[in-house]
Structure 1
Amino acid sequence: MSQANILWIDDEIESLRSQILFLENKGYAVQSVTNGFDALEFLKDHPIDVILLDETMPGMTGLETLSRLKETYPHIPVVMVTKNEAEHLMDEAIGAQISDYLIKPVNPNQVLLALKKIIDNKRLVAEKTTFAYQQAFRELFLALNSQPDHHEWMELYKKLVYWEMEMGKADSPEMQDVFITQKAEANTEFAKFIARHYAEWVGPKAKNAPVMSHTVFQKKILPALSKDVPNFWVLIDNLRFDQWRAIQPIFAETFRILEEDSFYSILPTSTQYSRNAVFAGLLPADIEAHFPEEWKNDDEQGGKNLYEELFFSHQLKRLKVDIRFTYTKITSHHDGQQLVNHIHNLLNYPLNIIVYNFVDMLSHARTEMEVLKELASDEVSYRSITRSWFLHSPLHQALKKIADRPVRIILSTDHGSVRVKTPCKVIGDRQTTTNLRYKHGRNLNFDPKEVIAFRDPREAGLPRPNVNSSYIFAKEDGFLCYPNNYNYFANYYKNTFQHGGVSLEEMIVPVVIMEPK
């Protein structure tokens, strides 16, 4: 590590010589000046990594110096050193975005710790994270090979998400490669698990089934509704668990998280199937049976998610739940602004459903637009874009407007998405659907090792569009391509985020209960 340059600004600098010598012995290069004017002059010609700034100086005060420093050198971290413990002074200094605050008299180790937090923080975090993951690697390996049940898979996936986000902080390409391999192994085992158990989960007797799309309202959301305050059920389409974790700190500024849980999206993990199942409380085959006019198969014309409010009304009747509710779907920025303007009106209703479509639109736009492929090229940047969107979104503005009122927020989604890398060849007739992570048709030809297949769609709780229709689902990081223009499509869709198939990222998704702080 190269030597870090420190500038110490203090009108009593001579009394700090022992402190400066201590820091120099620790490998820091320390320059000193006695006032703010000299500091600003010095900085014109000398690169500095951290400034130590005395608050009480004659002439230009510490706070005045800080203001001038931030105007001209906003990138240089400043540590305020002061005898004054007044709260208003601390507030002003912190408001001016200082990096740390030390009260005199300071001992050398206090100063050293402040510098380490600023200069060495990233390196120390990276080293600690890498070491901790090395310790956790074996634990995760054993868990993957211990025949986990559906509860254990949810916990395992949460741990993988935790380590994926921690590894993003560590500058260790070697350990990141190890993690990527371990996550791929987890998805391989998860696909085998789903192939073994999915049919029994959605069968007529539904043995040992986890909470899934068609049962999440009855089992997770309905019990969480408060009888005393208005409830806001916010469903963000296509929100992965790691994307939830990326926006969680923004929620935590104004909301207390009462419960963070997850559930399994049904197959296909796509809006048409999973979100309709969430609102209907039924599997797709049963939705088609109960609502033959409203249900649309992939190959039929018309919107596929136009009747969610109707489906939900019928689910409430079936469950004998009498509750007034509103249903708002946001598909544009204008819709979002309308929500911001009128959200206080919703406080008059016991339950308010808000369906927000941004993340799904981001996923699809990223496939088509080169600029978004650059902006969201991997999981780290995909999470970053999601966080940036939410921070500046009308949804965030709207929720902040009711954060001072007694309300309950339930955040959920319908399915996630996975970054696809491996093309899988599929042959079908003209009736075969075009989805990349699942297909159904009459004459599908495929490698059975690459997909999970249901020759009889009813085994998966799915409609049968034609007598000989079968469904196949891509697993792990595969995506389904036809032989025609195979190389073009294989290259075009590689490393895009898709959904509809079988992976941890698509199937294990968040449901979170919150209330204002």
Structure 2
Amino acid sequence: MSTTQGEILWVDDEIDSLKSQILFLKNKGYEVTPLTNGYDALELLKEKNIDVVLLDESMPGLTGIETLAKIKEMDPNMPVVMVTKNEAENIMEEAIGGQISDYLIKPVNPNQVLMSLKKIMDSRRLVSERTTIAYQQDFRNLFMALSSNPNHEEWKELYRKLVYWELEMSRSDSAEMMEVLQNQKAEANTEFFKFVSKNYEGWIKGKNAPILSHELFKAKVAPHLQQGKPTFLVVIDNLRYDQWKAFQPIVNDSFRILEEDMFYSILPTATQYARNALFAGMLPAEIETKFPNEWKNDDEEGGKNLFEETFLRYQLKQLKLDHLKTQYIKITNNENGKQMEDDIHNFLNNDLTVIVYNFVDMLSHARTEMEVLKELASDEVSYRSLTVSWFEHSPLHRALRKIADKNIQVIITTDHGTVRVKTPSKCVGDRQTTTNLRYKHGRNLQYEERDVLAFRDPKVAGLPRPNVSSAFIFAKEDVFLCYPNNYNYYVNYYRNTFQHGGISLEEMVVPVIRLQSK
């Protein structure tokens, strides 16, 4: 079996003078095909797989620059290193404009050629190796942190590190190390479920609690509001921390990050509960008491998030911020988005503009409904990539860029995240039982106890009690709850889709970021 480092084509009309350099490369494991003119090079490239072309710039007949143009017509991604006697700026500009990967000045030193090839061919492998070594060194630290009974702040730090390595690994090509990381992440979620099960009831009572959904506005938004300085609070539905980190570089072009933190979504990690709590500054049980006509339980008819503005204005009044000029906007489709983009300059007259952007939530639900999206977002990497692509081309990004030169601040956050479900668990309930795959509430629920956190009295979890015998259950880790009828069909249909409502790092530990225009 060949152990070649790569196939090199070296094109130079004085190729004989390069014999020692070619021999040097062959001794380093490269296969080198020497040719003396551009015509032969183009013919060879039609027939043979080449990794890199070394191309002399000044050849008789077809010049190096002309050959380069024709190579790029055939294969725009072919790496070409231009070798030239001439340091004249216009020649280099032509070559660089023609997308060369590197250039070398004659006489070429064999080590220079080697370094150029390594830079082009091995950069991905070298990055992968460096990432792998660094992760292996950190693996033990993460393992130790997991086993040392972390508190809610340390869990945020642990999750931050896991996401950092996940993003690094997805840039490199180490499938084996990615698998190790995924196993570590699964183990982290197992421990996280135990941690939440043990502490959640205490958090609701205010014991050693992290910032939860209903405290987010008071803790992370209100202190930064002031009259005369426009603040935009952008709540992107269903945004995970790793998705934020993936599109952060796009945001960095226009804004400076003043603070990046995470908070904990309440249970269920579902829009109707977590987002209403965020705007009302109250737990769902309190909202139901205070706003009996506006709060709707899962089993009731009608929209569940129709009164966010009412709740927000109530909270502003409670915080003595109702003197601020405030506007609430909800984006549920692209038309709304374009309208918001057109109106963005008018919002600069507000002290606080709240923009609820539903795209990511629509995407994750659509992901289970549409086969095309199932293909597009079949794993974490493609799901992140889809979010980045959406954000980059969204009316939201364009609108923010339009006002980035004004003296504004932007706070980006979310209501909850989402998790890729893999493990089915049987659950039985009556006709009133909710259909969500990650949590259920209803009477006479039967379920696998080891797969869920159950609250037989919803009040202790800060949740309304639709009926005297209503209980709530929340799925752990990557579990999804399926009814026994048509069990196999639903298991196959929903496995590997992104769901929310339950207990995982991805759903519960979510970002809040404060930005300032540059």
Same-fold call, TM > 0.5? yes
Which residue of structure 2 aligns with residue 423 of structure 1? Answer: 424
SS of aligned partner of 1:79 = strand
Is this contact kept in 2: 1:411–1:512, CA < 8 A?
yes
Which residue of structure 1 aligns with residue 144 of structure 2? Answer: 142
What is the deviation of 1:5?
2.1
Mapped to 2, the partners of 1:325 and 1:85 lie a distance apart of 60
What is the deviation of 1:78?
2.5
Is this contact kept in 1: 2:4–2:29, CA < 8 A?
no
AA in 2 matched with 1:284: P
2:218 is aligned with 1:218: yes
Tell me the TM-score normalized by structure 2: 0.91
CA 6–418 in structure 1, closer or farther in 2 if over 3 Å, else same = same
AA in 1 matched with 2:110: P
Mapped to 1, the partners of 2:146 and 2:179 lie a distance apart of 18
Tell me the TM-score normalized by structure 1: 0.91
Mapped to 2, the partners of 1:4 and 1:310 lie a distance apart of 65
Which residue of structure 1 aligns with residue 208 of structure 2? Answer: 208
Mapped to 2, the partners of 1:326 and 1:403 lie a distance apart of 19
Which residue of structure 2 aligns with residue 158 of structure 1? Answer: 160
CA 221–121 in structure 1, closer or farther in 2 if over 3 Å, else same = same
Mapped to 1, the partners of 2:122 and 2:505 lie a distance apart of 35
For residues 453-464 of structure 1, what are the structure 2 equivalents within 5 Å?
A: 453-464=454-465
Which residue of structure 2 aligns with residue 186 of structure 1? Answer: 188
CA-to-aligned-CA distance 1:88-129 (integer Å, 9 cap, x gap): 876765554433355666643333223212212232233333
What is the deviation of 1:513?
2.3
Deviates more, 1:61-70 or 1:279-288: 61-70
CA 84–283 in structure 1, closer or farther in 2 if over 3 Å, else same = farther
What is the deviation of 1:8?
3.7
CA-to-aligned-CA distance 1:363-415 (integer Å, 9 cap, x gap): 11111222222222221221122222222222222223333444322221111
Mapped to 1, the partners of 2:113 and 2:304 lie a distance apart of 62
2:460 is aligned with 1:490: no
2:302 is aligned with 1:302: yes
2:271 is aligned with 1:271: yes
Deviates more, 1:93-102 or 1:304-313: 93-102
For residues 32-431 of structure 1, what are the structure 2 equivalents within 5 Å?
A: 32=34, 39-53=41-55, 65-81=67-83, 96-102=98-104, 107-203=109-205, 206-225=206-225, 229-321=229-321, 322-431=323-432
AA in 2 matched with 1:305: N
CA 399–185 in structure 1, closer or farther in 2 if over 3 Å, else same = same
SS of aligned partner of 1:181 = helix
Is this contact kept in 1: 2:4–2:30, CA < 8 A?
no
CA 228–121 in structure 1, closer or farther in 2 if over 3 Å, else same = farther
CA 424–43 in structure 1, closer or farther in 2 if over 3 Å, else same = closer
Mapped to 2, the partners of 1:101 and 1:355 lie a distance apart of 50
CA-to-aligned-CA distance 1:44-101 (integer Å, 9 cap, x gap): 4443211234556677665555444323320202234557778887676555443335
Is this contact kept in 2: 1:417–1:498, CA < 8 A?
yes
What is the deviation of 1:142?
1.0
What is the deviation of 1:17?
4.7
Deviates more, 1:430-439 or 1:382-391: 382-391
SS of aligned partner of 1:344 = helix
CA 436–21 in structure 1, closer or farther in 2 if over 3 Å, else same = same
AA in 2 matched with 1:214: H
CA 77–150 in structure 1, closer or farther in 2 if over 3 Å, else same = same
Percentage of matched positions with identical amino acids = 67
AA in 2 matched with 1:186: A
Mapped to 2, the partners of 1:78 and 1:487 lie a distance apart of 53
Is this contact kept in 2: 1:225–1:408, CA < 8 A?
no
SS of aligned partner of 1:215 = helix
Deviates more, 1:216-225 or 1:152-161: 216-225
Mapped to 2, the partners of 1:452 and 1:10 lie a distance apart of 71
CA 403–69 in structure 1, closer or farther in 2 if over 3 Å, else same = farther
Mapped to 2, the partners of 1:63 and 1:20 lie a distance apart of 22
Cα RMSD of the aligned pairs, angstroms, is 2.7
Give the total of aligned pairs.
515
Which residue of structure 2 aligns with residue 437 of structure 1? Answer: 438
CA 43–156 in structure 1, closer or farther in 2 if over 3 Å, else same = same
Mapped to 1, the partners of 2:306 and 2:208 lie a distance apart of 32
Q: Which segments of 5 or more consecutive residues in structure 2 lack a partner in the other structure?
A: none
SS of aligned partner of 1:327 = strand
CA 215–87 in structure 1, closer or farther in 2 if over 3 Å, else same = farther
Q: Which segments of 5 or more consecutive residues in structure 1 lack a partner in the other structure?
A: none
AA in 2 matched with 1:118: I
AA in 2 matched with 1:441: G
Mapped to 2, the partners of 1:6 and 1:57 lie a distance apart of 19
CA 334–53 in structure 1, closer or farther in 2 if over 3 Å, else same = farther
CA 406–463 in structure 1, closer or farther in 2 if over 3 Å, else same = same
SS of aligned partner of 1:449 = helix
Is this contact kept in 2: 1:233–1:353, CA < 8 A?
yes
Mapped to 1, the partners of 2:4 and 2:401 lie a distance apart of 44
Is this contact kept in 1: 2:451–2:475, CA < 8 A?
yes
Mapped to 2, the partners of 1:319 and 1:157 lie a distance apart of 32
CA-to-aligned-CA distance 1:433-454 (integer Å, 9 cap, x gap): 1111111112222232221111
What is the deviation of 1:317?
1.3
SS of aligned partner of 1:515 = strand
